[in-house]
Structure 1
Amino acid sequence: MEVGRTQTLEVARLATMGIFLKEKEGKAEDAVLLPKNQVPEEVAVGQMLEVFVYKDSQDRAIATRKTPRLTLDSPAAKLEVVDKTEFGAFLDWGLEKHLFLPYKQQTEKVKLGDQVLVSLYVDKSGRLCGTMDVYDLLRDDSPYKVDDMVEGTVHALKDFGALVAVDNLYHGMVPDREVHGNLAYGETRSFRVTKVREDGKLDLSPQAKAHIQMDADSKTILEVLEHQDGFLALTDQSSPEEVARELGMSKKAFKRAVGKLYKEKRILLEDRGIRLVSP
């Protein structure tokens, strides 16, 4: 049997502390304990039970009928940081013993209460641990095509863009030109597939198709205007950085949305910025 995986094991013997389980053709001395509080009401030697095998606080293999939020066979998962030490952090993955996230496996600083995207691995001593370095564990055989809307979690921010785990399983990337400073590590949101590369990895955009995005961007500008007493100090001459900082969108998207609002006579264009037309 292997720690970190859900498997079907045979009841080898009954005991006061629980029952011992082994592989169908395995040796009785290799059996693992399923604690008494998880033993079904009616169980017999030879019966098969589906369990997850991991290690307890004393590094002994132990079985559980609970379903962890993460296994060696599952995609990455977002888990909550519930404790920290000088050696690493501990994550709630749905089992009695919290999952250890070693300091060296943290790609970003974490604090209590954070939700971090991690994968499961077995360390050199045979213990199950978490890692935030999920890139090599993601796949490039997604079923998605251009213009599909997908959900993903940002797992790294690079100079060339944001790396995204689509469905916490597949490789995705938002190019730097699409980031506009409004994507954060650990953020989970919807993305649009803009390209499927030859290697199967996905290029993504946080924006919907142009006509849909223009409506959303127009709404954003109106909301900002309303919160700033009807005036926004951005013009056609404003830099892309200023637009991204104020609105979280590209200069191109800004101009497109402003044009729409101007044609609808909902704003006035002044030398110093945009003014909301009073109803």
Structure 2
Amino acid sequence: MTPGQFNNLKISEKISSGFILQDPEGEKAFIQKVFADDTWEIGSEVSVFVYQEDGGYKATTEHPNALTGEFAVMTSVQSLPSGAFMDWGIIKDLFVPYKQQKSKIVEAKRYLIYVYIDEATGLITGTTKFKRNPQYDNLPFEKGDKVDLILMNESELGWNVVINKKYIGLIYASDVYKKLYPLSEETGYIKAIREDGKIDITLQPEGYENIDEFKQKIIDKLNDNYGLLYLSDKSSPEEIREELQMSKKNFKKAIGGLYKDKIIDLVDDRIKLL
């Protein structure tokens, strides 16, 4: 039985309130009838999420916001001197002990939580204390891979982010082309995996193979502005970022391609749609 994860368990017994499930080693978990399927039969194997409660294992077919080893944004439903309970997305709330709170968790507010098994208690636990820009080995990424991000916080270097709910990376300030907000979700791309195992992220795909996205954004902006856009290759990176939310490098690639395709004309300080 692996708490904090989905387990494939066999239905061993049906009782009035639900079902008893069993793993190959004989450990048992109880699941309420409300979470069971009408097609369940004794001997069938089911995939369920397992958690601990009242000294035993319980199961649900609900999907939590995060498994053990993952991050998720959760809302506090109760804050006590001993710790806080977070809405985990399932029937059971996740407990974050007071000692695992970077700052005191306030009821009804949202926090980024990491879920893990506490070594001392063996219980599924949450924490708001985690390393910034940790080093990793054997990462399942390659340069250019598209990833899901959760924005953590802004620093002097840029923005710390959670990648695919499991890893922490960094978007350098020079790669930020729009307003970002803590705990919001974004799509990003692997920019580099450094020799020290740290991950650099960019918000926009790099390379000419992705330039169509930027070309279309410029065309859309031109259509919205009666065929004129007061930007050029002499415009500042800040002006381009404010108007188009892209880097000057990608902007120059895009207008170069559009000009070559005879879709736009470049006139002094402006772009004209042909």
Please classify the TM superposition score into its range, dividing by the shorter chain length: 0.5 to 0.7
Deviation at 1:223, TM superposition (A): 0.7
What is the total number of aligned residue pairs between the two structures?
260
Residue segments in structure 2 that go unaligned for 5+ positions in a row? none
CA contact (8 A) 1:4 1:128 kept: yes
Deviation at 1:98, TM superposition (A): 3.2
Does residue 165 of structure 2 align to residue 168 of structure 1?
yes
86, 90, 95: which one pairs with 2:86?
Answer: 90
Deviation at 1:120, TM superposition (A): 0.9
Q: Secondary structure at the match of 1:198?
A: coil
Q: Distance in 2 between matches of 1:36 and 1:222?
A: 55
Decide whether aligned partners of structure 1 residues 247 and 102 sit closer, same or farther in structure 2, where only a CA change above 3 A counts: farther
Post-superposition CA distance 1:190-237 (Å, at most 9, x none): 41x333211223323333342123332221111111112222222344
Post-superposition CA distance 1:217-261 (Å, at most 9, x none): 221111111112222222344321121111111122222322332
Q: How many percent identity over aligned positions?
A: 27
Deviation at 1:132, TM superposition (A): 5.2
CA contact (8 A) 1:51 1:63 kept: no
Give the aligned CA root-mean-square deviation in angstroms: 4.7
Q: Distance in 1 between matches of 2:106 and 2:151?
A: 13
Does residue 189 of structure 2 align to residue 195 of structure 1?
no
1:12-31 aligned within 5 A? none
Q: Distance in 2 between matches of 1:130 and 1:49?
A: 27
- Paired position in structure 2 for 1:253: 250
Decide whether aligned partners of structure 1 residues 100 and 276 sit closer, same or farther in structure 2, where only a CA change above 3 A counts: farther
Q: Distance in 2 between matches of 1:111 and 1:255?
A: 46
Deviation at 1:15, TM superposition (A): 8.0
CA contact (8 A) 1:105 1:130 kept: no
- Paired position in structure 1 for 2:184: 186
Q: Distance in 1 between matches of 2:7 and 2:193?
A: 35
The residue type paired with residue 187 of structure 1 is: E
144, 147, 152: which one pairs with 1:151?
Answer: 147
- Paired position in structure 1 for 2:239: 242
Residue segments in structure 1 that go unaligned for 5+ positions in a row? none
Q: Distance in 1 between matches of 2:177 and 2:128?
A: 24
- Paired position in structure 2 for 1:219: 216
